[in-house]
Amino acid sequence: MLLEVEGLSVRFGGLTALADVTLAVAPGEITAVIGPNGAGKTTLFAAISGFLRPQAGRVRFAGREVGGMPPERLCALGLVRTFQVTRPFAGLTVRENIAVAAHLRHASRKAALALAERVAARVRLEDRLDRPAAELTLAGRKRLELARALATEPRLLLLDEVLAGLNPAEVAEMEPVIRGLRADGITVLLIEHVMQAVMRLSDRVWVLVGGRIVASGPPATVVRDPAVIEAYLGRGAAERLLREDALAGGA
C-alpha cells in the first residue's frame, strides 16, 4: 500500500470532524473520497497532508510513519495536495507559479522553468504561461492547482475538488488529464462532488458521512448502497431512486 490511514480522529473543540477513519490506497490506483458537504473530506486531506495534527490515528506513506510531519516534508517525500479553494500565487505569472513547485526537485532555474512549461502544456495552460495567475478564470485556477501539484513530481496526488465549479465541457477536458496520470505512475486520491466524473474515474471510493466511513468499494456498488443514498439525498431517497430506476428501465 502506498498510503495507509488507520483510526484517524480529528476534533475541533467539542466537535468531532473525523472519527476513526481507516483507508488504504494501492500504488497506481485512482480512488476517491465522496460525501455530502461538511462530512469532513477536506479535514481528512488536511490531516493526511500535514496541515492538521490529528488527535488519534496513524498515517503511513510508502511504508513510513508520517504522522505529524509538516506539509513541506511530506511534499518532498512525494505526497502533495491541492486546495479546494484555489490558492494561486496571485502576483506571479502562471509559469512562475508552476516553477515554484518544479524547484522542489530541480535546483536550477532553467530546469524548473522547462518542467513548468511541460506541465503547463499537459493541463492545457500553455497559452497562458506569461499571464498573471490573478487573471485566470476558475477553471484556469483549478488547472493551475493541478499543474503546480504535478510539478512537484509526486507519487501520490490528493486532489481536493478539482472538478467542482467547472462546466460540463471543462470537466470533460480535465478527466483525461487525471486519467493520464496513472500512466506516469502517479497514484490519485480525489475528493469530489461531481459524481458522474468520480464514477468514471475511480477504481474504488470511500463514502465519508459525519466524519465516518460508511461504505467503500467499486463506485457502481457503492452508489447503490442504501446507506450512501440516504446520507446524500436524505431519508427515503433510496426507495424513491430505486422506483425511478425501475421506471426508467421499464421505459
Partner 1 sequence: MRSLPAIGFFALAALPLPWLTSSGTVLNLATMVLLFATLGQAWNLLGGMAGQFSFGHAAFFGTGAYATAIAQIRFGLDAWSGFALAILAAVAMGALVGFASFRFRLRGSYFALVTLAFAEVARILANSLEITGAGVGLLLPLAPGLDRLQFADKAGYYWFALVLCTGGLVLASLVRESRLGARLAAVRENEEAARALGVDAFAVKMQAILLSAGLAGAVGAFYTQLFLYLDPHIAFGPQVSVEALLGPIVGGTASLWGPVLGAAVLQLLGEASRALTGGATGANLVAYGIVLVLIVRFFPDGIIGMGRARAADARGVTG
Residues that bind partner 1 (CB under 8 A): 49, 51, 70-73, 75-76, 80-83, 87-92, 96, 99-101, 103-104, 107-109, 112, 134-135, 148-149, 151-152
Question: 48 or 139, CB closer to partner 1?
Answer: 48
CB of 73 to partner 1, least distance (A): 8
Question: 135 or 239, CB closer to partner 1?
Answer: 135
Q: What CA–CA distance (Å, rounded) separates 158 from 50?
A: 12
| Nearby residues of 60 by Cβ (< 8 Å), 6 or more positions away | 1, 3, 4, 5, 6, 66
Quickly count: other Cβ atoms within 10 Å of residue 19's Cβ: 17
Question: 45 or 232, CB closer to partner 1?
Answer: 45
CB of 99 to partner 1, least distance (A): 6
Q: Is the dihedral of CA 18, 19, 25, 30 positive or negative?
A: negative
CB of 185 to partner 1, least distance (A): 19
CB of 110 to partner 1, least distance (A): 10
Cell of 169: 465541457
Cell of 85: 479553494
Question: 87 or 179, CB closer to partner 1?
Answer: 87
113: region left, alpha or beta (phi > 0 left; psi from -120 to 50 alpha):
alpha
CB of 161 to partner 1, least distance (A): 15
Q: What CA–CA distance (Å, rounded) separates 133 from 69?
A: 29
Question: 134 or 172, CB closer to partner 1?
Answer: 134
